Structures are given as C-alpha cells and as structure tokens.
Amino acid sequence: MSTVLIESSTLAKQSTAEATSKKKRVVIVGAGFAGIAAARALRRSDVEILLIDRRNHHIFQPLLYQVATAVLAPSEIAAPIRQLEAKQKNLRVLLAEVKSVNTRARLVEAACPGIGVQKLEYDFMIVATGMRPSYFGLDEFARFAPGLKSLNDAETIRARILSAFELAESINDETVRTRQMTFVLVGAGPTGVELAASIAHLVSVTLRRNFRNVDPAKSRIVLLDGGPRVLPTFAESLSRKVTKRLEKLGVQVRTGVKVEKVDAEGVIAAGERIASATVLWTAGVAASPVVKMLGTTMDRAGRAIVDPYLNIAGASDVFVAGDATAIIQDGHPVPGVAQAAIQQGRFVGRVIASRVSGRKDGRPFRYRSKGNMAVVGKNFAILEAGHLRSSGFVTWLVWVALHVLALPQLQNRFRVQMQWLWSYLTGQRSSRLIGEGP
C-alpha cells in the first residue's frame, strides 16, 4: 500500500501556536548520546524541540555486549525517551522514522507508525543518528553475521549463542557438534574484544555443568581482524596485554587475516575454512542513511564532513553530531565514542541557543578526551588517558564505577549493580532467554 502524506490537525495547531509565539523549532533526529545531550543543552532556550527517533528508548551502547551474552537484560541498559517530556517543557518526542530531508525548504518527512508520513518544518536541525554495521560492500554477509548496534541485535546474538549449545546437546554427530560450539567474531575493536571475553566467561563458568552431553568449556572462540593487532586505537603496549588476556581466557586471536566469505557454514579467512554456526560481525561501521539525505560531503564511512561548528557545508541551520559526523582534530579523527558524542551534542545545543538569542557562536568545537577504556572479562580492564596507561584489577574497578554512574536512570544503576554483584559472586547470568520468534 502506498504511503500517504498527511498533515495532522495536531501539527496544524502547533504551527498556529508557533506562528503566534514565534519560537524557533529545533528538530533533533536521533535520541542517542548526542541527540539527548543537545536537547538538554537547549532546555533553558526559548525554542521548541522536536526529538525524533524510530525507537521509543535510548540505549546505553557501551554495555550492549552484556545483553548479547546474557549478563544483563535489555531493560537494564535502556530508558524510555518519552520520559524526557516530563522533565523538559520545551521538548516533544515523536516516534517516527525519517524518510527524506529537504534542507532548502527546511522540511523533514517522517513516517509515524499507523499514521503515515508527516511533513515537519524546522528552523534548526540536528542529525545525530549514529552508526550501523558496515560489511564493506559485502552486504550478503549480514544474513549470516549479525552486527551489534541495537537491542534487537543483542537479543538475536544471545539467542544464537544459547541455541548453539542446545542443538549441540541434542545431536550425536561430532562434526556438527564442533561447528555448533565454534564462535567466530570478525573485528577486534572494543566491541569484538569485550564480546569475545564475555563469551569466554559464559562458556567456562556460567554454562559449566549445565549440559550432560557437551562441555561448553571446550568451545572454540576465534577473534579475527585484518589489522596487525587488537584494539588499534589504544597504545601497542595495552594491545599486547589485551591479547595475552584473551588468550588466557581461551580466545584464539588471529590478526592480519582478511575474511573472504561468510556463509551458513562459517567463514573463509586467509583461505582457511572455519566451520561455525555463530559468526558475529564486530568490524566496520557506517553512518545511517539520514546523513546521505542531507546531500552534503561525506567520508568513505558515510559520515558528514562538517565545519568547526558542526554545520554541514552551505547550511548554517543544519548540524551533524555524534558518530554520524567526521571531524579531524590535531591531524587525527575524533573517535566515535560516547564521550565525544555527548560533547558534540552539548556544543551544538549551545551554538543554537546562542544564535536564537542573537549572540555570537563562540569558540569552535574541540574534543577533550577523558580517556578510553575497554574491559576484557572479569577483573581486567585497560585505560589510556593522555600519557597514563593502566591495566588490571584496579582499572577494572574504575571501569565498573564509571559505567554504573553513566547509566541513564537511577533504577538502571541499581539493577545493574545488583546483577553485576550476583554474577561476580556466583558466575551466573540471569538473562539466559531464547525468544520464541515470530
């Protein structure tokens, strides 16, 4: 059935109210770290904010891998976006998916479930739609190797991992059983490393003695990467420590290996077939399709190239923030991490607030890194902050504290603390559910 363009009576009333009040409308596309930070930065500004997202929840992505490995439940790292309306009077939330953007007409078309496509005018727009998995032009791999960017992805991966052992338990063919108990991760960045370590702990501790015919501890976990080492954005000394830690956990780390094919039987890497029923894609990322709708200059990953105030070329009313933007600072790209997205969101919100009130923009955006961290299983994490490099148990405690404090809601913090404490003491994971499917 063809999509019908509509103008709802609600929007018509809002347009009349806007004309009377002459408030500027700021449309924010994406309720991730950058989008929410931008909205909060505008909370005292005399503007109307419309926050659009195709999901009704915000995800704390740094812990998404723990949902994928049954440590945490989806609700423990997510928070409803709509609750922002209760805390911020100049904000309205719209559950919709952006279908087109006309920067000349300052018009966004967004499809709302059960309603149709609404035409939404704006005075300023912030695109903060984040990233999605990139298969480097080999999109046929996606069918066999899911990425990890949403709660649905995490639940799909969790079901595949747990189902692999259920099937291995019920069959007698040793070849098939071995394939079921082989897990291949493509990409040794933070997500790949953290996911591999968590799977290793799952099979060696949590699932121990849960099966009669198979020993999960004998599972094979293979981490592949085309680069020369794991965690290439960290110092080489930390990378070596992480590699040793992974190997101690039972993960086979293979770097300098190009994945040539992914299919239903596993992967072919460097000419070798690795039979696996569970292949996970933790390699490249690309910007969401919304960035392309802007008609601006992009890098090879589809991220918008912006000016020092995060505006796209030729449009001072359109900003891009977070992972969807490409910024070079001191000769290096600003990393696609949560702290960078939050800083960009706050910056853009303040720039718009200044422009609305007639003030000058101020200084251009500059990212201030507070350090980067990665956790590698129980009791081990790494930290790099300027010249400071640390690893081990104390660093792991710092990682735990920072991530608990960064969770979106008080109830998230309480529940995650309790679940982590329970898992730490018992080795058990409470979210070992396999969905029934459609």
Domain termination residue (choose one: 302, 322, 356): 356
Residue 132's identity, in one-letter code, is: R
Co-location of 166 and 212 in the same domain: yes
Q: Are 325 and 126 in contact (CB under 8 A)?
A: no
Co-location of 305 and 215 in the same domain: no
- The answer to whether position 250 is within a domain reads yes
Between CA 301 and CA 308 the distance in angstroms is 20
Co-location of 115 and 197 in the same domain: no
Co-location of 116 and 157 in the same domain: no
Q: What is the CATH number of the domain that holds 298?
A: 3.50.50.60
- The answer to whether position 349 is within a domain reads yes
Co-location of 50 and 163 in the same domain: no
Query: What per-residue confidence (pLDDT) applies to 5?
Result: 38
Co-location of 256 and 348 in the same domain: no
- The answer to whether position 403 is within a domain reads no
Which residue in the list 194, 247, 260, 436 is annotated as catalytic? 194
**197 lies in which domain range?**
139-283
**What number of CA atoms fall less than 13 Å from residue 240's CA on the CB side?**
4
Q: What residues contact 37, with CB distance under 8 A and at least 6 apart?
A: 341, 342, 343, 344, 345, 346, 349
Co-location of 208 and 271 in the same domain: yes
Query: What per-residue confidence (pLDDT) applies to 4?
Result: 37
- The answer to whether position 421 is within a domain reads no
Q: Are 101 and 320 in contact (CB under 8 A)?
A: no
- The answer to whether position 269 is within a domain reads yes
Co-location of 205 and 233 in the same domain: yes
Query: What per-residue confidence (pLDDT) applies to 2?
Result: 39
Domain termination residue (choose one: 261, 283, 305): 283
- The answer to whether position 417 is within a domain reads no
Co-location of 200 and 255 in the same domain: yes
Between CA 51 and CA 34 the distance in angstroms is 12
- The answer to whether position 395 is within a domain reads no
Domain termination residue (choose one: 283, 310, 326): 283
The stretches of 33-150 forming alpha helices (DSSP H) are 33-41, 64-68, 83-87
Instruction: For Cα atoms 259, 435, 201, give the angle at the middle one, nearest 5 degrees.
Output: 55
- The answer to whether position 259 is within a domain reads yes
Average pLDDT, the chain: 92
User: Does the active-site annotation cover 194?
Assistant: yes
Q: What residues contact 19, with CB distance under 8 A and at least 6 apart?
A: none
Co-location of 313 and 274 in the same domain: no
Between CA 126 and CA 349 the distance in angstroms is 9
For 216-266, give the DSSP string. Answer: GGG-EEEEEESSSSSSTTS-HHHHHHHHHHHHHHTEEEEES--EEEEETTE
Q: What is the CATH number of the domain that holds 265?
A: 3.50.50.100
Co-location of 127 and 38 in the same domain: yes
Q: Are 187 and 148 in contact (CB under 8 A)?
A: no
Query: What per-residue confidence (pLDDT) applies to 358?
Result: 92
Q: Mark the ranges of the chain whose per-residue pLDDT is less than 50.
A: 1-9, 11-13, 15-20, 438
- Which residue has tokens 């058990």? 428
How many domains is the chain partitioned into structurally?
A: 2
Co-location of 230 and 321 in the same domain: no
What is the separation of C-alpha 23 from the centre of its chain, rounded to a whole number of angstroms? 33
